[in-house]
């Protein structure tokens, strides 16, 4: 019996060693960066260019906008459906631009593809804002779309165009588009100065529209926005966010004054994502403030942006007494709601950006009795990146196509059904159900897509039925582009 006991102990030890090896595999951040950008080609709508690398995708939604007599082909599908929701699409574009602004010099040959991803968004938003008194807020009836499982190339659901106007405003979607255009004007300044100037000019006009005609698109386009991408936090955060980017892009003090006079009106300061811009505003504006050593280190300084950004960091650090998030046993950050990895990628981005500001200014943060150094922020972000890429209890990468083990049955229409190259016949509204219900992996690999991620107990259900865990979104990937570029080059 004793021999059996020793054998069992040895087997347990070997199992633990193997598990440790599986969950601590060396990570290739450069490969993950390349794939994270490639993903956006799988989300493209409209006429695809000759340079398209995700070749199983084809032209789609070519008549978008025809119901109101405008041409609105292009843009991105936000997730696994075929609707073009402009509110999260604009946030995605803003974050792609911010990634290039902060980390473009670290991207190497991937920089050109990142720029192409940004321009795919900005070209589309120039169309959406062509009329000075109208902003096109969305294409596609989500209720109709969600009643079908079709390839985007086959869509015969309603492609209704939703607009916001002076009398039916949508300040949040308009101001987020302004932010995207302004941020992109900075990101693209070196590669195309003329285009950059056009983006900035349009951003100013769209911001004025959003600010002068205030109101929520929740009310103006109704069930087009809700319950899918309702604005739960009001539109003031988008107006301040848009003004912050316009100030950074133009150095026009008018926008700086707008930010300063409205920052105190914002609510929860630790939220950041497609709906809430609060934390992003404070980190972004802190960059302006930290250019002065005195401003960063003067204890009498009452700069609200730096104080708010410091509080954000204290709300994220695992050992902080004011921590406002939870961590799984495997070490993954969690906030309430679905598609948790959207929080992981967005906060990781802010952690690294703010850590770099801190490094420049030799700054630390006091979280009660805990003193946070820039390396603490970077280490936390790195732990999240490593978890997403496979250093977790399941040894699973949550990026499709990265590593040896990754989600195979993601909730994504185009990925589940054969390409037109393979099956050129039309697949109707409910004809795609048989592909959705298959137990086998998706037919097409949506390389680079980051899914919603595991549950708080570190478990993961690789199932198309589990939308929260298995659906990828553009706004999960966009911040991760910058994060991966940083760790690709960082020796941290």
Q: Which residues are catalytic?
A: 81, 411, 462, 471
Structure tokens at 194: 């003329």
Distance CA 441, CA 165 (A): 44
Nearest to 42 by CA among 124, 120, 156: 120
Structure tokens at 460: 């993961």
476 with 35: CB under 8 angstroms?
no
| Rounded (5°) CA angle 293-271-88 | 110
Exposure class string for 158-173: b at 16+ Cβ within 10 A, else e: ebbbbbbeeebbbbbb
119 with 111: CB under 8 angstroms?
no
Spatial neighbors of 175 by CB under 8 A, at least 6 apart, are: 206, 207, 210, 211, 235, 238, 239, 241, 242
Distance CA 366, CA 359 (A): 15
Distance CA 228, CA 277 (A): 18
Distance CA 204, CA 251 (A): 12
401 with 448: CB under 8 angstroms?
yes
DSSP 8-state assignment for residue 373: P
By three-state DSSP, how is residue 350 classified?
Answer: helix
Element (H, E) at 327: strand 326-327
Question: Token pair 């103006």 is at which residue?
Answer: 220
Distance CA 165, CA 10 (A): 71
Nearest to 453 by CA among 390, 401, 404, 403: 390
Exposure class string for 89-121: b at 16+ Cβ within 10 A, else e: bbbbbbbbbbbbbbbbebbeebbebbbebbbbb
| φ, ψ for residue 98, nearest 5 deg | -65, -35
Spatial neighbors of 151 by CB under 8 A, at least 6 apart, are: 60, 413, 414, 417, 420, 427, 432
């Amino acid at each position: 019996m004793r021999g059996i006991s020793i054998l069992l102990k040895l087997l347990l030890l070997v199992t633990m060693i193997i598990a440790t090896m599986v969950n601590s595999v060396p990570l290739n951040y450069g490969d993950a960066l390349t794939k994270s950008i490639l993903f956006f080609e799988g989300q493209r709508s409209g006429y695809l260019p000759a340079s398209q690398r995700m070749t199983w995708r084809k032209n789609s939604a070519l008549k978008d906008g025809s119901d109101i007599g405008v041409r609105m082909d292009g843009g991105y599908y936000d997730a696994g459906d075929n609707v073009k929701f402009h509110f999260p699409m604009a946030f995605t574009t803003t974050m792609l631009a911010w990634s290039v602004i902060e980390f473009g010099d670290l991207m190497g040959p991937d920089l050109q593809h990142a720029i192409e991803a940004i321009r795919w968004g900005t070209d589309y938003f120039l169309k959406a804002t062509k009329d000075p008194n109208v902003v096109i807020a969305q294409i596609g009836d989500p209720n109709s779309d969600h009643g079908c499982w079709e390839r985007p190339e086959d869509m015969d659901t309603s492609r209704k165009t939703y607009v916001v106007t002076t009398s039916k405003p949508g300040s949040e979607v308009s101001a987020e588009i302004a932010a995207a255009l302004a941020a992109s004007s900075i990101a693209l300044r070196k590669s195309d100065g003329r285009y950059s100037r056009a983006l900035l000019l349009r951003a100013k006009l769209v911001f004025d529209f959003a600010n002068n005609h205030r109101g929520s698109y929740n009310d103006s386009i109704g069930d087009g926005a809700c319950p899918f991408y309702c604005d739960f936090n009001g539109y003031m955060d988008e107006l301040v966010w848009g003004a912050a980017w316009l100030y950074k892009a133009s150095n026009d003090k008018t926008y700086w004054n707008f930010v300063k006079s409205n920052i105190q009106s914002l609510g929860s300061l630790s939220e950041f994502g497609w709906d809430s811009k609060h934390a992003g505003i404070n980190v972004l504006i802190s960059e302006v403030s930290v250019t002065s050593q005195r401003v960063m280190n003067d204890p009498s300084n009452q700069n609200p942006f730096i104080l708010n950004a410091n509080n954000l960091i204290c709300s994220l650090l695992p050992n902080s007494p004011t921590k406002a998030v939870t961590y799984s046993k495997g070490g993954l950050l969690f906030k309430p709601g679905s598609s948790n990895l959207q929080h992981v990628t967005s906060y990781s981005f802010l952690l690294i950006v703010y850590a770099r500001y801190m490094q420049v200014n030799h700054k630390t943060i006091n979280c009660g009795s805990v003193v946070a150094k820039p390396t603490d922020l970077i280490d936390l972000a790195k732990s999240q990146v490593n978890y997403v890429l496979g250093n977790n209890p399941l040894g699973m990468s949550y990026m499709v196509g990265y590593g040896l083990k990754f989600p195979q049955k993601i909730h994504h229409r185009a990925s589940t059904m054969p390409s037109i190259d393979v099956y050129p016949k039309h697949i109707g509204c409910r004809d795609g159900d048989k592909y959705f219900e298959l137990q086998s992996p998706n037919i097409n690999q949506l390389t680079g897509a980051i899914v919603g991620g595991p549950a708080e107990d570190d478990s993961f259900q690789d199932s198309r039925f589990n939308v929260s865990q298995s659906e990828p979104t553009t706004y999960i990937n966009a911040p991760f582009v910058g994060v991966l570029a940083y760790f690709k080059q960082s020796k941290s």
